[in-house]
Amino acid sequence: MQTSFTRRQGAPNTMLIVDDDELNRDILSMIFEAEHAILQAENGQQGLDLLAEHEAEVCAILLDVMMPVMDGMTMLEHLAERHVPERIPVFLITGESDSEVIKQAYDLGVMDVISKPITPPIVLRRVNSVMELFAARNHLADVVAEQTEELREQNQQLQNLNMGMIEALATATEFRSGESGEHVRRIHDITRLLLEETPLREQFSKEEIRQIALAAILHDVGKISVPDAILNKPARLTPEEFATMQRHTVSGDEMLTQIPQLKGLPFYDYARLIARHHHERWDGKGYPDGLAGDDIPIYAQIVGVADVYDALVSQRIYKPPFEHMDAVDMIVNGRCGTFNPLLMQYFRDIAPAIRDLYARGAHTHTPAQTETR
Amino acid sequence: MDATRKERLKAAGINVDGALERFMGNAGMLERYFGRFLEEKSYAALAAAVAADDAAAAAAAVHTLKSVCGSIGCDHMQALALAQEAKMRAGDWPGAKAMMPELQEEYDRVCAVLRG
């Protein structure tokens, strides 16, 4: 017999008929056997057993109510418990006229109740309409799942591109200062160590830590606006030049504000605050805003420490490199400005891990000078 | 199923057209199920259960009987079975029991018609 819908390749196509009466099973089989494989069960228990074995193939369940061993309502309760009627349409085909039973069956998730004695063309129509609905719904769900996966991949590509652009921007800044780009990578790593390996981790989620570490690499992005003559001056800066140099903090904040595409990214606020405040000091003697204590965002404080440490142990155009322990002591003793005492404690705790980080990575070598910028 | 038999069944109150529609026009299959009805145990089970005052067994038997009769077009027998089932469900066991002679008579008549 002709049906009104075409089955999708690989979709389930077996009708499970559960009725104690052979006559009814035969009539129902006859109606559907042209288009479907048929499974027959004589009672609810057999029906559940067959379903357990063939669930992936079953496209509909035709269920009688009055049966020995396990009746239709009991089988339906078992099905409802496992949410089967949400995936496979269940039809009650019954001589039952008790409206309470029928109502209960609908409550348990049957899609339609067809009364006996049945009229084949009507059964065919009603069952096929519902199966068509389920097939369309499953198809739609598949399409949505496919599209979701595509979107997820595109989103991942965009994120990778974002990361690439951000790293490119940070590296470009470093190159202008005559450094290799390793500096920003190390700042990223130290920032993450300080957030992950100390009690600071309790204040941030894993994702926030990831975003802060990423934001850290843009801390010096404002140096793009500092003239080469000042940035790479192989001599002590004049007070006026030093003031220009210090402007890189505010410039960095402003630059980030002017890239509208960055505003939607989760690291945007971190990046702005880090760029602006990573030269602030705990005692308020830093720049550009002279913030003190907890007014300085903790992540800007962390990047501030990481930045000073990296500057100390690296050779710079204006100074020679210091040994790891000397650098740690200088920072903790306030030789490079005052830092948050608690942060100093954490910094000392993870100093060995930081040293290991540098032992693995390459150092940069540029002509030496003295001064802190 | 020739025209004469079909007319005779119809004249005896068997809903042949309805039954044929149910069997999707397959008269051979309908005849097979007429044959099975004659051997079918649900009427015997009903009579035995009523005689033994076993209400639960009687209810199960009359339910099956009703279903089979409906499927093969024995509409009057189906109506009687339905009425008796309703009495049993309503707890009217004496009333259900009292219907047995009428059911027996109709059962015998239907069997004779189907055999003929």
Interface ipTM: 0.74
- Domain B3-115 indexed as CATH 1.20.120: yes
DSSP state of A38: E
CA angle A146, A152, A156 (to 5 degrees): 145
Contact A116 B24 (CB under 8 A): no
B60 touches A: beta carbon within 8 Å: yes
Contact B67 A68 (CB under 8 A): no
Distance CA A194, CA A357 (A): 12
Distance CA B48, CA A136 (A): 51
Counted across chains A and B, CB pairs separated by less than 8 A come out at 48
What is residue A9's predicted lDDT score, i.e. its pLDDT?
65
Q: Which tens digit of pLDDT belongs to each residue from A42-95?
A: 999 999 999 999 888 999 999 998 888 888 889 999 999 998 898 899 999 887
B76 touches A: beta carbon within 8 Å: no
Global pTM exceeds 0.95: no
Would you place residue A362 in the very low, low, confident or very high pLDDT band (cuts 50, 70, 90)? very low
What is residue A160's predicted lDDT score, i.e. its pLDDT?
83
At residue A1, does pLDDT exceed 70? Answer: no
Would you place residue A293 in the very low, low, confident or very high pLDDT band (cuts 50, 70, 90)? very high
Dihedral Cα A154, A158, A164, A167, nearest 10 deg: -150
Q: Which tens digit of pLDDT belongs to each residue from A15-43?
A: 999 998 888 898 889 888 888 899 999 99
Q: What is the mean pLDDT of residues A276-286?
A: 96
| Nearest residue of chain B to residue A64 (CA atoms) | B67
Instruction: Please report, as a single letter, which amino acid is at residue A111.
Output: M
Do A267 and A214 form a contact (C-beta atoms < 8 A)?
A: yes
Q: Which tens digit of pLDDT belongs to each residue from B26-45?
A: 888 888 888 888 888 889 99
